[in-house]
């Protein structure tokens, strides 16, 4: 069969355009246990949903940091393209841009239902713009409600953290804790258990999911759960390296969107269950469980407005716009 020069060029271009995504394996990295933690389970569902629509896309999930990339360092790997995808708590990106604190701003996303209202809003569009400026494309919309737990006291209002050594996962959130009298230590969630064990921490905030999957109830005896109000709510989405996302065809991007929507609903259900499972785990361990009251929550939000919100809005015009857009969603 004889090819004309024009046909040969067109064929080569078509093959080249399809090669980067179809031929290589898409690696997904994260720091949690396989088949136990909801973030791993939802990532597997996403892959299944993509493969229902396009079996040519090949994925491999690396749970529990098994790719030997530390949790925070995943962002560097995504930015330089050596890692295609990760389940990434977006607060870990504040070292690159402080504006990422918006997705853990205390009291701005009080419930999972409110988190889902943010999909498709100008806030989500502006946040995606921020993420893409820093080399990543958010694919899913996974929010995790979080809670307080300590070794030796119940957490109620702001005065109850006075004197504690705590972890909160974000410097802007931590400014509120400092104003309430706590000292703070920054670390990824994988380091919380040994830090509680050694005395580096005597209290922490993290997701309800993490309290169970990392057995933090073994090191803390008082828990304040987010069953009604979540002061700590964090976006921990499946993200993709922008340079790899840009190689997807329009059809593949649509498939990713459809698979993400399925995983969002699945993850939402898991997070509702995670709060119940956290309460059950603490009660079974003989710990004291407290449900934050409306008055306690309001006291924390009033403090956040005077500390975290003001500090964040002063960072940059984009920070102020993000906060305004987030608060506009009722």
pLDDT for 21 beyond 60: no
CA-based nearest residue to 287, from 203, 202, 221: 221
Does the structure show a pLDDT above 90 at 22? no
Q: What is the pLDDT of residue 138?
A: 98
Residue 301 pLDDT > 70, yes or no?
A: yes
Residue-level pLDDT at 228: 86
> What percent of the chain has a predicted confidence (pLDDT) above 90?
91
Reading phi first (left if > 0) and then psi (alpha if -120 to 50, else beta), residue 130 is in: alpha
Mean pLDDT, rounded, for 259-267: 98
* Residue 194 in this model has a pLDDT that exceeds 70: yes
pLDDT, tens digit, 9 for 90 and up, residues 203-256: 999 999 999 999 999 999 999 998 888 999 999 999 999 999 999 999 999 999
- In this prediction, residue 214 carries a pLDDT of 94
- Residue ranges making up the domain that contains 293: 5-328
In angstroms, the Cα distances linking 81 to 132, 209, 240, 247, 327 are 13, 29, 9, 12, 34
How many structural domains are present in the chain? 1
Q: Please tell me the predicted confidence (pLDDT) of residue 23.
A: 55
pLDDT at 6 over 50: no
324 pLDDT higher than 70: yes
Nearest to 316 by CA among 94, 89, 88: 94
Q: Give the number of other CB atoms < 10 A from CB of residue 262.
A: 17
Q: pLDDT confidence of 263, banded at 50, 70, 90?
A: very high
pLDDT of residue 19: 42
Structure letter (DSSP) for residue 70: -
Q: Which residues are CB-neighbours of 73 under 8 A, at least 6 positions away?
A: none
60-77 tens-digit pLDDT: 999 999 999 999 999 999
Mean pLDDT of the chain: 93
> 7 pLDDT band (50/70/90 cuts)?
very low
> What percentage of the chain exceeds 70 in pLDDT?
93
pLDDT of residue 18: 42
Whether 121 contacts 158, CB under 8 Å:
no
**Whether the Cβ atoms of residue 262 and residue 46 lie closer than 8 Å to each other:** yes
- CATH number of the domain within which 38 lies: 3.40.190.170
């Amino acid at each position: 069969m004889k090819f004309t020069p024009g046909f040969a060029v067109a064929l080569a271009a078509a093959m080249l355009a399809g090669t980067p995504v179809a031929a290589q394996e898409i690696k997904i990295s994260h720091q949690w246990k396989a088949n136990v933690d909801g973030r791993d389970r939802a990532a597997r569902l996403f892959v299944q949903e993509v493969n229902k629509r396009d079996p040519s896309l090949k994925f491999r999930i690396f749970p529990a940091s098994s790719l030997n990339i530390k949790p925070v360092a995943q962002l560097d790997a995504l930015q330089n393209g050596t890692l295609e995808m990760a389940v990434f708590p977006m607060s870990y990106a504040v070292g690159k841009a402080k504006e990422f604190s918006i997705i853990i701003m205390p009291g701005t996303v009080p419930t999972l239902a409110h988190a889902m209202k943010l999909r498709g809003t100008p806030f989500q569009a502006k946040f995606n713009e921020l993420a893409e400026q820093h080399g990543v494309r958010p694919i899913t919309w996974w929010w995790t409600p979080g809670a307080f737990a300590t070794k030796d006291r119940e957490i109620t209002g702001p005065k109850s953290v006075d004197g504690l050594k705590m972890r909160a996962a974000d410097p802007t959130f931590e400014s509120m804790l400092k104003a309430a009298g706590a000292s703070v230590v920054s670390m990824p969630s994988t380091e919380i258990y040994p830090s509680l064990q050694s005395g580096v921490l005597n209290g922490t905030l993290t997701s309800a999911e993490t309290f169970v999957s990392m057995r933090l109830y073994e090191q803390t005896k008082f828990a304040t759960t987010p069953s009604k109000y979540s002061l700590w709510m964090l976006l921990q989405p499946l993200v993709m390296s922008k340079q790899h996302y840009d190689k997807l065809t329009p059809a593949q991007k649509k498939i990713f969107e459809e698979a993400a929507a399925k995983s969002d609903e699945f993850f939402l259900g898991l997070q509702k269950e995670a709060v119940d499972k956290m309460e059950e785990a603490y009660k079974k361990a003989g710990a004291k469980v407290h449900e934050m009251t409306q008055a306690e929550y309001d006291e924390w939000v009033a403090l956040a407005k005077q500390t975290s919100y003001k500090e964040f809005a002063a960072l940059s015009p984009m920070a102020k716009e993000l906060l305004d857009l987030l608060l506009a969603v009722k």
